[in-house]
Structure 1
Amino acid sequence: MTAPNKLRQLLDEPGILAAPAVYDCIGSKLAEKAGFPLIFTSGFGISASLLGLPDMGFLTATEMLNQVKNIIKSVNIPVICDLDTGYGNVLNVRRTIEDVVQFGAAGIILEDQEWPKKCGHFEGKKVIPTDEMVKKIKAAVDARNNSNLVIIGRTDARAIYGLDEALNRGKQYQEAGADIIFIEAPQSVEELEKIVTYFPDIPLFANIIEGGKTPCLTVNELEKMGFKLVAFALSGLLSGTNAVSHYFEQLKQTGTVNQNNDFCQFQDFKNLIEVDKYRELEMSNI
């Protein structure tokens, strides 16, 4: 079964689908090992880890797509890819979609911000006209061809024009062919509930960022509310950064590292990246 077909099967099953967004192959493998049925890629995380820069449009299409390709190859579960704005006009969107289909992506998130875009929970965002984004959604639908790629239409209009305009845009993106609607950065439980009420006939996406603008509800709370997909966009990045910082500070101060239960043992890490498997392949060809 192809990754898009597997994702669509998951979407047809009852219950919510929640998973972390990852930014590298180690995070992808850890999420798969933890038992998540799918993962997302994080544009914020990729920009921070690859460039050491904030999610403010610094990543090129080539950099993003190369990292997305590596992540997809590293796991056997569906990957939903953050593709920002599609990196240009409808022609660029078509090429971007064709590339990720070839990589084996299960789904994509396409947003309506102006370029250079910003993290959805940053200030100073701008959005393109609704009809321009509608054309991008239609181009993505056409470019996926018969791959069954899941297309998530995202609007950042809430921060600029208010929730009602975001809802209106979401409805037009649904009519243009988006499979799932993503209203970015609602600012209260009441706004989340209003989104669910407004879209009774299409799966909805929620984005949880600890310290962001949207209330950090639990997966169970979001499921009861009516959301189908939930990404924990920065949980891995923030927790990983804290752990690495702790151990580096400990090493600098003490000259050693306390290998407690939070420390990944070398053998466990070798197992994660399948050293024995590739060693056997190497030996079989000698």
Structure 2
Amino acid sequence: MTAADLRAMLVAGHVTHAPGVYDPASAALAVRAGHRAVHLSGPAISATMLGRPDLGFAPATQIADRAATLLPALGGVPLLADADVGYDDPDHAVWTALAYRRAGISGLCLDDGDDAGLTAARIAALVERVPEVVLIARAGGRGLDETFERCRAYAAAGADAVLPVGVREADLGRLRAALPGVPMVVCRSEAATGGGRLTGAELAGLGVGLVLHPLAAVLAALRAASLAYRAIAEEGDAERVDRMPPAVYATLTDRPEPEITAEINKIDT
């Protein structure tokens, strides 16, 4: 898919969920589950390559390198990637976005940092010089009013969508009223669960086109691995742990036979 396809998702009138992926196997599973967009996040890179929680400085080169390994498994499904480091000024932002594009990344989630004015300048440069990459601008501030002002500034600079940071889904209606017509993206972080979440129809009615789930699959995989390692340590095998059948695993990057697809569907449900 092209950037035009991803931009169409932002204004489609319904929500597209973009789960986090982190290696070719997870990318293949996300595609087979029917997802139309996926997300490579800085926290996922930190967890799977460094074995540490998000430190906020997964370098752009590392993200681009990992993204390039995912493309064969994605089969054209667009990949969004975090852009936290390597975007210090407009020229650096453009250089890094070009590296992302060469790696096959269709859209980036640009971190805004402390200087909203500089972020707006970076957005304007990216829109002018790398229009092939969809730009989702994260906007965080000290309180709702500052966050809303940043969203307004980033939309005016040309961002395709804004991602308000630290704003409860229940407060998105206020942002919609302040910025009518501006597409929004929501990140459902694993750190914030429970009450206040809106339905897909409610989110779409507020202008939300994409919902990101950066760590759900990573944490599920780590939990499953933990159970398997513990079982081996205690019992000498992992027979009691629910695992993917080897025949399904062997076909992750190939077109599966119908009976194997049925096995995958049973695993997913």
Q: Same fold (TM over 0.5)?
A: yes
Whole-angstrom distance in 1 between the partners of 2:120 and 2:72? 31
Calculate the TM-score normalised by the size of structure 1.
Answer: 0.81
Whole-angstrom distance in 2 between the partners of 1:215 and 1:141? 36
1:177 to 158, 174, 178: 158
1:53-132 equivalence runs, <5 A:
53-76=52-75, 77-113=77-113, 128-132=114-118
1:222 has 2:206 as partner:
no
Whole-angstrom distance in 2 between the partners of 1:7 and 1:275? 24
Shift of 1:72: 3.1
Shift of 1:224: 4.5
Partner of 1:194: 174
Which deviations, in whole Å up to 9, do the C-alpha atoms of 1:117-158 show, x marking residues without a partner?
A: xxxxxxxxxxx222111111012112214xx3211011122x
Identity of aligned residues (%): 26
Whole-angstrom distance in 2 between the partners of 1:10 and 1:58? 29
Partner of 1:123: none
1:210 has 2:190 as partner:
yes
Q: Which amino acid aligns with 2:95?
A: R
| 3-state SS, counterpart of residue 155 of structure 2 | helix
Measured at CA, do residues 111 and 215 of structure 1 come closer, stay the same or move farther in structure 2, by a change above 3 Å? farther
Partner of 1:163: 144
Shift of 1:166: 0.7
Report 1 or 2 for greater relative contact order, CA contacts < 8 Å, sequence distance ≥ 6.
Answer: 2
Q: Which amino acid aligns with 1:167?
A: F
Measured at CA, do residues 189 and 202 of structure 1 come closer, stay the same or move farther in structure 2, by a change above 3 Å? closer
Measured at CA, do residues 180 and 58 of structure 1 come closer, stay the same or move farther in structure 2, by a change above 3 Å? closer
Measured at CA, do residues 83 and 171 of structure 1 come closer, stay the same or move farther in structure 2, by a change above 3 Å? same
Partner of 1:48: 47
Partner of 1:31: 30
Measured at CA, do residues 267 and 218 of structure 1 come closer, stay the same or move farther in structure 2, by a change above 3 Å? farther
Q: 5+ unaligned residues in a row in structure 1: which ranges?
A: 114-127, 277-286
Q: Is the 8 A contact 2:80 2:106 kept in 1?
A: yes
Q: Which amino acid aligns with 2:44?
A: G
Q: Is the 8 A contact 1:138 1:177 kept in 2?
A: yes
1:193-272 equivalence runs, <5 A:
193-212=173-192, 217=197, 219-220=199-200, 221-258=202-239, 262-272=242-252
Q: Is the 8 A contact 1:93 1:140 kept in 2?
A: yes
1:273 has 2:253 as partner:
yes
Measured at CA, do residues 258 and 207 of structure 1 come closer, stay the same or move farther in structure 2, by a change above 3 Å? same
What is the aligned length?
A: 255
Q: Is the 8 A contact 1:16 1:228 kept in 2?
A: yes
Calculate the TM-score normalised by the size of structure 2.
Answer: 0.86
